[in-house]
């Protein structure tokens, strides 16, 4: 009987699982993925290219229609890694070359915690939450990294006629291992960016192989280069759709994600691997690489719904029921808490954690999300609050290049009847009672700041936030 039980466990958990059957985790994060790009979200062929591999995953688990990132790359990545709104960690605005900011040593990332639990951890692609000693991904729990510290628009520098590499900063693709200083592999250029995902896939497969050989569960944080500008496909995908570089790049993204899924199948570990596919913020606004928010309006760097929603798909065989779709709100910080608990790890209790446990909801045990809403910021300014299908907007900004307008009276948007956010107050109903719910969310946040001070942007590496009433 014991032999039969052991054989059954092997069939359930497959290779690469720990003795306790802890799940592997693959988080596939897509840069600047608008809500209107994927077929499963109303894009696909309407954007010039179908996305069959990604859409298949949508049918194999939970498709979130109301997944909330933060409004920029750095804030979203910080919230995902720490489970804390980025305003708490001082990473509430995009990190640029020369920026001394990033995560302080006190912060505990998902990789820190999983590493302590015996997981092998690797990141491929953009980090964007620290680029100095003590702030690299391998200083924050990852065993290994290959990628870039900042943003892919830096690939455009080398072709800029005003750029001088002898005078100006130089962007590099880098790699590092835990306990070692990062090394520069090659200068980041448009040509180098085109082929980076091939190397990311190769490194990911090697990492998976080594984790299996070591009999360790693993956490792979895969950050694809697309759909960040410059949006252009590598040679094998150029011209495949007949609809231009954007559509060809969408095919590339779908193919690369499919290749990673195929490798999980090939190694016999798909049934014990949690796969999360999501964007990090709303779509690109700048031409010629402008993306689409689809049903919604707005781009990243705004408080519009196109900025506050991005696709998110979760597959966990035998745990997350197949074929599920929900418009319940799930924040990117919730993935920190939920993934850690699925892995059997402990969520830190010595700091404010904004991420909520969404297991009961994602597992189909309850129909509602654990979250009713959240405040949203652009940099240090709170732009408003989402609550269920409503938004209370205090700062209005529709596009990346449009000035932010401080509203004398908050706009109350009913997203059910006004998804484009063009008629505040939804007369004759007005919905002014919604402000009470929004005010409660803001009050809870302000109370939490009294319990633990915010880490300022650019804080020194050894900064530790004070705790206690009014931080005295």
pLDDT surpasses 70 at 91: yes
Q: According to the model, what pLDDT value does residue 5 have? A: 37
Give SS3 for 67: strand
Are residues 341 and 246 part of one domain? yes
pLDDT surpasses 70 at 422: yes
CATH number for the domain spanning 23: value is 3.40.720.10
Are residues 427 and 351 part of one domain? no
Are residues 240 and 104 part of one domain? yes
Select from 362, 383, 404 the last residue of a domain: 362
> Of 87-96, 200-209, 315-324, where does mean pLDDT reach its minimum?
87-96
> Averaged over 351-376, what is the pLDDT?
98
Are residues 398 and 254 part of one domain? no
Query: Which residues fall within 8 angstroms of residue 286, CB to CB, at 6 or more apart?
Result: 229, 400
- Which pLDDT band holds residue 276 (cuts at 50, 70, 90)? very high
CATH number for the domain spanning 407: value is 3.30.1120
Are residues 324 and 196 part of one domain? yes
Are residues 287 and 432 part of one domain? no
Select from 362, 385, 416 the last residue of a domain: 362
pLDDT surpasses 90 at 47: yes
In a domain, 6, yes or no: no
Q: According to the model, what pLDDT value does residue 346 have? A: 98
Q: 416 lies in which domain range?
A: 373-453+462-471
Q: According to the model, what pLDDT value does residue 3 have? A: 35
Q: What is the pTM of this model?
A: 0.94
pLDDT surpasses 80 at 175: yes
Query: Which residues fall within 8 angstroms of residue 283, CB to CB, at 6 or more apart?
Result: 32, 33, 34, 35, 36, 37, 227, 290, 291, 292, 293, 299, 300, 306
Are residues 350 and 393 part of one domain? no
Distance CA 396, CA 381 (A): 11
Select from 333, 362, 391 the last residue of a domain: 362
Q: According to the model, what pLDDT value does residue 471 have? A: 56
Are residues 408 and 272 part of one domain? no
- Which pLDDT band holds residue 264 (cuts at 50, 70, 90)? very high
In a domain, 8, yes or no: no
> Of 94-103, 305-314, 357-366, where does mean pLDDT reach its minimum?
94-103
Query: Which positions are catalytic?
Result: 73, 128
Give SS3 for 263: helix
In a domain, 368, yes or no: no
Distance CA 461, CA 85 (A): 19
Nearest to 257 by CA among 210, 222, 231: 222
Q: According to the model, what pLDDT value does residue 16 have? A: 37
Percent share of the chain, pLDDT over 70? 95
Render pLDDT for 15-36 as a digit per residue (tens, 0 to 9).
333 335 899 999 999 999 999 9
Render pLDDT for 425-467 as a digit per residue (tens, 0 to 9).
888 999 999 999 999 999 999 999 999 999 999 999 999 999 9
Are residues 377 and 342 part of one domain? no
> Averaged over 93-118, what is the pLDDT?
92
Distance CA 405, CA 38 (A): 32
Domain count, the chain: 2
Tell me the pairing of strands 120-124 and 218-224: parallel
Are residues 445 and 331 part of one domain? no
Are residues 140 and 77 part of one domain? yes
Distance CA 393, CA 406 (A): 9
Are residues 400 and 288 part of one domain? no
Percent share of the chain, pLDDT over 90? 91
């Amino acid at each position: 009987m014991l032999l039969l039980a052991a054989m059954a466990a092997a069939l359930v958990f497959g290779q690469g699982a720990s003795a306790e059957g802890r799940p592997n985790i693959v988080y596939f994060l897509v840069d600047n993925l608008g809500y209107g790009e994927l077929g499963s979200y109303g894009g696909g062929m309407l954007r010039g290219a179908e996305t069959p591999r990604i859409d298949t995953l949508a049918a194999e688990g939970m498709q979130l229609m109301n997944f909330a990132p933060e409004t920029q790359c750095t804030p979203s990545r910080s919230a995902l890694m720490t489970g804390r709104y980025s305003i708490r960690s001082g990473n509430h605005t995009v990190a640029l070359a020369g920026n001394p900011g990033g995560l302080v040593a006190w912060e505990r990332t998902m990789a820190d915690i999983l590493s302590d639990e015996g997981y092998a951890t690797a990141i491929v692609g953009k980090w964007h939450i620290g680029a100095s000693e003590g702030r690299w991904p391998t200083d924050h729990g990852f065993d290994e990294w290959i990628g870039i510290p900042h943003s892919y628009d830096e690939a455009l520098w080398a072709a800029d006629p005003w750029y001088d590499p002898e005078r100006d900063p130089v962007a590099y693709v880098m790699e590092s291992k835990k306990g070692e200083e990062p090394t520069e592999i090659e200068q980041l250029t448009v040509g180098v960016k085109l082929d980076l995902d091939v190397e990311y896939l190769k490194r990911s497969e090697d990492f998976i192989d080594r984790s299996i050989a070591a009999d360790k569960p693993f956490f792979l944080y895969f950050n694809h280069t697309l759909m960040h500008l410059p949006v252009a496909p590598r040679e094998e995908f150029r011209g495949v759709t007949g609809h231009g570089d954007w559509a060809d790049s969408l095919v590339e993204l779908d193919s690369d994600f499919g290749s990673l899924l195929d490798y999980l199948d090939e190694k016999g570990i798909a049934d014990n691997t949690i796969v999360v596919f999501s964007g990090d913020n709303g779509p690109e606004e700048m031409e010629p690489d402008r993306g689409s928010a689809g049903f919604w309006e707005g781009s990243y760097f705004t408080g519009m719904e196109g900025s506050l929603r991005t696709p998110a798909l979760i597959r966990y065989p035998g745990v997350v029921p197949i074929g599920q779709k929900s418009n319940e709100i799930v924040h990117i910080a919730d993935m920190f808490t939920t993934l850690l608990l699925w892995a059997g790890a402990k969520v830190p209790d010595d700091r404010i954690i904004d991420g909520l446990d969404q297991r009961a909801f994602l597992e189909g045990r309850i129909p509602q999300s654990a979250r009713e809403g959240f405040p949203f910021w652009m940099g240090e300014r709170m732009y408003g609050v989402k609550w269920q299908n409503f938004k209370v907007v205090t700062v209005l900004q529709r596009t990346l290049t449009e000035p932010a307008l401080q509203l004398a009276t908050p706009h109350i948007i009913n997203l059910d009847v006004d998804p484009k956010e063009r008629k505040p107050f939804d007369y004759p109903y007005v919905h002014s009672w919604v402000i009470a719910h929004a005010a409660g969310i803001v009050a809870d946040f302000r109370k939490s700041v009294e319990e633990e001070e915010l880490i300022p942007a650019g804080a020194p590496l050894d900064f530790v936030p004070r705790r206690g009433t009014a931080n005295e």
